[in-house]
Amino acid sequence: MFELFANQPLLPTIWFAVVGFFWVGYIILDGFDLGVGMLMSPFFAKDEKERRLLLNTIGPVWDGNEVWVVTAGAATFAAFPFWYAALFSALYIPLTLALLALIFRAVAIEYRGKKKSERWIAGWNTAITLGSFVIAFLVGALLATTSTGLPLDANGDRVGGAFAWVTPAVFLGGFSMVGLSLLMGLAFVALKTDGDVRYRAGSALVKLTPVLALPAILWVLYMQVTTGNMVSYLLTGLALIALGAGWLGAIGAYEGRAFAGYASFIGFAILAVFLALYPKVLPSTLDSAFDLTITKASSSEYTLRIMSVVAACGIPILLVYQGWTYWVFRKRLLVESIPAAHDVTELAQQPTRTSAHTRGL
């Protein structure tokens, strides 16, 4: 097992693990609020009050969750600039679309409650639902691309047209992320609400787990068959065990256990993909000699040492702060606790103290 790491430089290996850690955090945390955004569609939410309830479950945390993807991108840029350059320059189109979807979704969350109009609210609800789906799909596509490879030449430049990145693996990764987001969204709604919405989310989670988890399972197994090693095999087994534990928790209506099980499944599964890829960071589909590895793609040792000191101070602060945020807003919400809709002008005329759950929602 240790032979996998024996001949690799220490600091690039550590930063490869740090980048993987940030992606795991993003997929778990922003994954559930993307899932909640998709659940605001008429396929799950019955009426406007239920949609407001769903949005209030993520109201205090959704913008903080998005910081993880920014941090993952920044860590990649600083620690592995050649990986960042090769991947991001080859994916201008999907990354631009993902950025637009992130902006549009954030605007929709903030603006949907600013006017008491069915047409206004319905439009922004659609923006939240579609934006959440597009973000999840494109993030999954990006991760699948970096794990399965791009047509790179000896200089790390993409060969082919603007859509050379479109492969079957892209769709597998995209639907994997959509499925994982919906799993986490349902688990989070069951954990954070009470009443009919809670039980409906729990029931849907039990029924849909095999379907929603299947693309991610196929992606992980594909990586193990093609480039797996003993460590990634072990992580794959732990991922499947965690998925089973989460599903059993959902069946027994133990929402906390279910959420922890599905989150652990995502963590082990993503780490299994990263470890199956290691020491590569971006394979070339043209020639294995052109693969980008942690050695070829990393910054200087001095840069990585400075970054390690900063990360050692910053990551614990990040974890403590986000943990405190979730603790403060840990209580369940009810449809009955959602106040009647009102115009912003009405609120201005009769100022009242409002809960952080209803800020701008």
The pLDDT tens digits for 97-108 are 999 999 999 999
Instruction: In whole angstroms, give the CA distance from residue 30 to residue 178.
Output: 12
Sign of CA dihedral 95, 99, 105, 108: negative
Instruction: In whole angstroms, give the CA distance from residue 42 to residue 126.
Output: 10
Say what the pLDDT of residue 67 is. Answer: 87
Say what the pLDDT of residue 171 is. Answer: 94
Say what the pLDDT of residue 289 is. Answer: 87
Say what the pLDDT of residue 8 is. Answer: 79
Say what the pLDDT of residue 66 is. Answer: 87
pLDDT in tens, 214-267: 999 999 999 999 998 899 999 999 999 999 999 999 999 999 999 999 999 999
Phi/psi of residue 115, each to 5°?
-150, 135
Say what the pLDDT of residue 357 is. Answer: 46
> Can you list the residues of the chain whose pLDDT is less than 70?
1-6, 340-361
Instruction: In whole angstroms, give the CA distance from residue 82 to residue 303.
Output: 14
Say what the pLDDT of residue 39 is. Answer: 95
132: nearest Cα among 155, 108, 115, 157: 108
219: nearest Cα among 263, 273, 268: 273
Instruction: In whole angstroms, give the CA distance from residue 193 to residue 204.
Output: 14
For residue 62 the two structure tokens come to: 């959704």
- Is the CB of residue 326 less than 8 Å from the CB of residue 61? yes
Residue type, position 316, single letter: P
Instruction: In whole angstroms, give the CA distance from residue 285 to residue 150.
Output: 6
288: nearest Cα among 122, 177, 154: 154
Say what the pLDDT of residue 9 is. Answer: 84
- Is the CB of residue 1 less than 8 Å from the CB of residue 231? yes
Burial class (CB in 10 A: 0-12, 13-18, 19+), 286: middle
